[in-house]
Chain A
Amino acid sequence: MSYGVRLHIWGERACFTRPELKTERVSYDVITPSAARGILEAIHWKPAIRWCIDRIHVLKPIRFESIRRNEVAGKLPAGTVSKGIKSGRVDEVHYFVDQNRQQRASTILRDVGYVIEAHFEFTSRADDSDTPGKHLDIFNRRARQGQCFHMPCLGTREFPAAFELIESEQQMPAVDDDLSGERDLGFMLHDIDFANGKTSRFYRAKMQDGVIEVPPFQEALA
């Protein structure tokens, strides 16, 4: 039962936001299994399958950079809703960005490269036409040709991820010497449990010579 895939991804910048530091975004040191799953889903996904991340290889030294941008402040109470305009008209209906502005800093990662090792499992929505070979072939064919449903991104959409399939006989890209030894990355988001009201689940990320073993989602701590 080998449905394993290996995907090499890299990019200039990345931001895997820590849930506890959301307003002024601070990125985790490395990609989360949740973001890795999103990248695989951007290349191929059907409701019949569920991607499971097995291993994350970190290839480049962990470096941060800060960037501050004007963002919209978001919500306003519905009490201010005016009913002056009849239905279906959009004139003079705007979000006033310069009055609802926040300047927020993001601490983001620079120059990242990872290899995602993953496999997929079938969900209850799979039927007889969903064979492992079929989905594996589709994914590999797309990743090989650089095809994707939408461009995968490194945490947020302004940081696109370049990707390349690592064929089964191919060597892994080299890991930077900076990452040798064991490093405890603390509690990290594993993924979000959409079946149970979108609760987050965490795991203890340990990096051994640049490799993080990701436990199955069921074993992650709620």
Chain B
Amino acid sequence: MTAIANRYEFVLLFDVTNGNPNGDPDAGNLPRLDPETNQGLVTDVCLKRKIRNYVELEKEDDAGYAIYMQEKSVLNNQHKKAYDALDIKPESKKLPKDEAKARDLTAWMCQNFFDVRTFGAVMTTEVNSGQVRGPVQLAFASSIDPVVPMEVSITRMAVTNEKDLEKERTMGRKHIIPYGLYRVHGYISAKLAERTSFSEDDLELLWRSLINMFEHDRSAARGEMSARKLVIFKHDNPMGNAPAHKLFDSVKVERVDGEADSPARQYSDYHVSVDSESLPAGVSVDERL
């Protein structure tokens, strides 16, 4: 597969209604908040997990789309496989002395595992197949406006332990955000894609996963989450044609006229505009969704 030849940046807008997009283990699973501004946060790794899950669902057992960070096995088995496939004797904690063989191992991992190809992976375990820096880089997502988490108490008409029988019911708690629109920025480097052979097909799969990842991630805690807008900036030059921050500035998310101080409760309370007129030369914009 030939690697992509353009640099990309993207802005993804997604929203949550009556749910918890990403719990904070430090705060008893309350939705993550930026302590200074009260904006909601969703970490990069949370979104990467969802992308991996989507790819796994879509591609199931397709060759070359295996997901490495998944279930019921051990990292080292993966590397052992690479060694077995290439018939190299594992050396403890070091790359094989022969650099070509080390490269083969890494290449094999990239070839077979979508998430290694996309996000990279550190494979400096006891059976070593090197370290890969993937082309796709995600930042933290944060909400446009401050969000107000609510604690909802719920009751259950059953008990867990026999000794609690006379209580008849137990109480539980859920944390939800009534509404939040989140924005996340991503970067894709063509030069790193060359090294992991991240191809055009992989890129299309990544766009699909960004659009659909919430559709397959329904749960009691999440509420209603959906991707609302994906704006893709494509540079003609593999090194890029414009600073990323300037491109991101052209995507504006504002409250609809006259509602600036009221709480937002749906996507239509926001107005999203992409200033595609004043884009720098050599950058094209593609709006999906």
Asked if A124 lies at the interface with its beta carbon under 8 angstroms from chain B, I say no
Total residues of chain B contacting the partner, CB 8 A: 58
Complex Cα–Cα for A105 and B25 (A): 9
Q: Mark A63-104, 1 if CB is under 8 A from B, else 0.
A: 101111111101111101111011111111111111100010
Asked if B263 lies at the interface with its beta carbon under 8 angstroms from chain A, I say no
Which of B65-73, B94-102, B162-170, B204-212 is near enough to bind chain A? B65-73
Given known pairs A75-B75, A150-B189, A150-B192, the reply for A90 and B26 (CB within 8 Å) is no
Asked if B237 lies at the interface with its beta carbon under 8 angstroms from chain A, I say yes
Our pick among A13, A87, A92 for the contact of B72 (Cβ within 8 Å) is A92
> When the two chains form their complex, are residues B73 and A92 in contact, meaning their CB atoms are under 8 A apart?
yes
> When the two chains form their complex, are residues B246 and A146 in contact, meaning their CB atoms are under 8 A apart?
yes
Complex Cα–Cα for A71 and B139 (A): 16
Asked if A160 lies at the interface with its beta carbon under 8 angstroms from chain B, I say yes
Complex Cα–Cα for A93 and B115 (A): 13
Asked if A175 lies at the interface with its beta carbon under 8 angstroms from chain B, I say no
> When the two chains form their complex, are residues A145 and B243 in contact, meaning their CB atoms are under 8 A apart?
yes
B252 to chain A minimum Cβ distance, whole angstroms, is 17
> When the two chains form their complex, are residues A142 and B75 in contact, meaning their CB atoms are under 8 A apart?
no
Asked if A112 lies at the interface with its beta carbon under 8 angstroms from chain B, I say no
Complex interface residues of chain A between 139 and 191 (CB less than 8 A to chain B): 142, 145-151, 153, 157-160, 162-164
Q: Which residues of B contact A (CB under 8 A)?
A: 24-26, 32, 34-36, 41, 43-45, 61, 66-78, 80-81, 84-85, 87, 90, 92, 112-113, 125-127, 133, 135, 137-140, 142, 185, 187, 189, 191-192, 237, 239-246
Q: List 26 A-B contacts (CB under 8 A).
A: A65-B34, A65-B36, A67-B43, A74-B75, A78-B92, A78-B126, A78-B127, A80-B74, A83-B84, A87-B84, A92-B72, A94-B70, A95-B70, A95-B75, A96-B74, A145-B242, A146-B240, A146-B241, A146-B245, A149-B192, A150-B187, A151-B189, A158-B45, A159-B139, A159-B140, A162-B245
Q: Which residues of A contact B (CB under 8 A)?
A: 12-13, 63, 65-72, 74-78, 80-83, 85-99, 103, 105, 110, 142, 145-151, 153, 157-160, 162-164
